[in-house]
Amino acid sequence: MSDLHLEVKNLIIDALGLEDMTADDIDSTAPLFGDGLGLDSVDALELGLAIQKHFSIKIDADSKDVRQHFASIDSLADFIRSKQQGGQ
């Protein structure tokens, strides 16, 4: 697991108050919403704000790709990495 993956997992746990989970409990490829981790739309808002603050990046909630970026830990880490490298 990369450092960024671990950082994102721990941020999810902290931001959403998932005290009964550890980073090892979260599968990097499993869906974050629905049948995977089971997050909902309120969690998505809280997570989006936490990611913007923690990583100092901007997330365009109206972007057609935002749902895809939040699909899993892997896709979220790729999105954060691209934003930090100046990607759109």
Query: What was the pLDDT predicted at 9?
Result: 97
Q: Which residue has the higher pLDDT, 55 or 19?
A: 55
Q: Do 48 and 8 meet the contact criterion of CB atoms below 8 Å apart?
A: no
Query: What was the pLDDT predicted at 31?
Result: 95
Query: What was the pLDDT predicted at 87?
Result: 61
DSSP collapsed to 3 states, 4-66? HHHHHHHHHHHHCCCCCCCHHHCCCCCCCECCCCCECHHHHHHHHHHHHHHHCCCCCCCCCCH
- Write the pLDDT tens digit of every residue in 52-77: 999 999 998 788 888 899 999 999 99
- 70/79 Cα distance (integer angstroms): 9
Query: What was the pLDDT predicted at 36?
Result: 86
Query: What was the pLDDT predicted at 62?
Result: 81
Q: Which domains does the chain have, with CATH numbers?
A: 3-84 (1.10.1200.10)
